[in-house]
C-alpha cells in the first residue's frame, strides 16, 4: 500500500470507530477538560486506532495528535480523531476524523472522513482535491450580501471578539452558520456550500487537512505553517472563494495580515 492508501485506511477505520461510539453514546465515559470542553473515551480510542495503523506502516514517521500522540520526525502525521466532540457527545451528527501529512514543515496532503455521510475528502498539494474519489472543484458566491459565512467557537475567543466579527458580517448582508466542527466547516467551504470562514483559534489538527482540501478545490486559504510556532500556537485559519475574499479584507480587517497558502496548481 502506498502512503495515500494507508492514510485512507487509517482515517476510515478511525471514523468508523467514532461512529460506533456515537451510536452507543449513552455508555460513553466523558471527561471535562474545561468549561464546555469535552473529551470522551472515543476520542482517545480513535486516535490510538489511527496511530496504530500509520505507525505499523511507517515506523519512522512522527505524530501530532490532539489526544496526546507526539513524536517528531521529518514526516509527521497531524491527527484530530474526532473534530466536533461537543456535537458528538450531545448527539448532533456533525463531526469527522482528520489527518494531515506534513513533510519538512510543508503541508503535502490531507484527508477528512465524515462517517455520518460516508464522505471521504482528500487532497494532495498541487494535485487537486477529491470527494469520494471524484474531483472537487468548486464555485462560490462573490459577495457577503449573497453569502453563507461559517464561524467557529473557542473558549479562547471573547464574546466581544466573536460578536464583533458576527456583526460585521451581518452588516455586510451575510447569513452565518456555526456548525461546530472546524474541519468539516472547511469541507463545506471546499464544496461551495459556505463562502467564507475565518478563525484564529483552530489548532493544527483542526485546520491543516481542510485548508489543503479547500485550496485544491479552488479556494483562497491561509498558510497555517507560515509560522515556525504552528505546533504550539494556534494560527489563523482562513478560507474563502477568491472573489468574496477581497470583500473579507474590508469586512474583517484582521484578515489583512494573514499569509496565504500558495501551491503549484
Using CB under 5 A, list all residues that contact Ca ion: 66, 80, 82-83, 206
Q: Does 97 bind ligand IPD (CB under 6 A)?
A: no
Binding positions for ligand IPD, 105-164, rule CB under 6 A: 152-154
Q: Which three three-digit cell numbers place residue 119?
A: 464522505
DSSP H helical ranges for the chain: 3-23, 41-57, 85-90, 159-171, 182-190, 204-216, 242-251
Minimal distance, residue 140 CB to ligand IPD, in Å:
21
Which of 107, 72, 62, 124 is CA-nearest to residue 208? 107
Q: Please state the closest distance from residue 243 (CB atom) to ligand IPD, in A.
A: 25
180 binds ligand IPD per the rule CB under 6 A: yes
64 binds, among ligand IPD, Ca ion, none (CB under 5 to 8 A by kind): none
Q: Which of residues 39-68 bind ligand IPD (CB under 6 A)?
A: 66
Least CB distance from residue 182 to Ca ion, whole Å? 6
Q: β-pairing, 237-240 with 220-221?
A: antiparallel
Contacts of 192 (CB under 8 A, 6+ apart): 138, 139, 140, 217, 241
State yes or no: residue 181 binds ligand IPD (CB under 6 A). Answer: yes
Residue of 80, 188, 195, 223 that binds ligand IPD (CB under 6 A): 80
Return the SS3 of 234: coil
Amino acid at each position: 500500500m502506498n502512503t495515500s492508501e494507508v492514510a485512507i485506511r487509517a482515517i476510515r477505520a478511525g471514523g468508523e470507530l467514532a461512529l460506533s461510539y456515537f451510536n452507543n453514546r449513552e455508555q460513553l465515559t466523558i471527561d471535562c477538560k474545561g468549561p464546555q470542553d469535552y473529551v470522551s473515551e472515543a476520542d482517545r480510542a480513535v486516535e490510538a486506532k489511527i496511530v496504530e495503523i500509520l505507525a505499523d506502516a511507517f515506523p519512522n514517521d512522527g505524530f501530532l495528535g490532539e489526544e496526546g500522540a507526539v513524536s517528531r520526525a521529518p514526516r509527521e502525521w497531524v491527527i484530530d480523531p474526532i473534530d466536533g466532540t461537543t456535537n458528538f457527545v450531545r448527539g448532533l451528527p456533525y463531526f469527522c476524523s482528520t489527518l494531515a501529512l506534513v513533510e519538512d514543515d510543508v503541508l503535502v496532503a490531507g484527508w477528512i472522513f465524515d462517517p455520518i455521510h460516508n464522505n471521504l475528502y482528500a487532497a494532495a498539494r498541487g494535485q487537486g482535491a477529491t470527494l469520494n474519489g471524484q474531483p472537487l472543484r468548486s464555485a462560490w458566491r462573490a459577495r457577503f450580501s449573497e453569502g453563507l459565512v461559517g464561524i467557529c467557537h473557542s473558549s479562547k475567543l471573547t464574546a466581544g471578539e466573536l460578536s464583533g466579527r458576527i456583526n460585521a458580517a451581518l452588516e455586510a448582508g451575510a447569513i452565518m452558520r456555526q456548525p461546530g466542527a472546524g474541519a468539516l466547516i472547511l469541507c463545506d467551504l471546499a464544496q461551495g456550500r459556505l463562502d467564507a470562514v475565518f478563525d484564529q483559534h483552530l489548532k493544527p489538527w483542526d485546520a491543516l487537512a481542510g485548508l489543503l482540501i479547500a485550496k485544491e478545490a479552488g479556494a483562497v486559504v491561509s498558510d497555517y505553517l507560515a509560522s515556525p510556532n504552528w505546533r504550539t500556537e494556534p494560527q489563523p485559519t482562513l478560507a474563502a472563494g477568491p472573489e468574496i475574499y477581497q470583500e473579507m479584507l474590508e469586512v474583517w480587517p484582521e484578515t489583512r495580515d494573514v499569509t496565504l497558502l500558495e501551491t503549484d496548481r
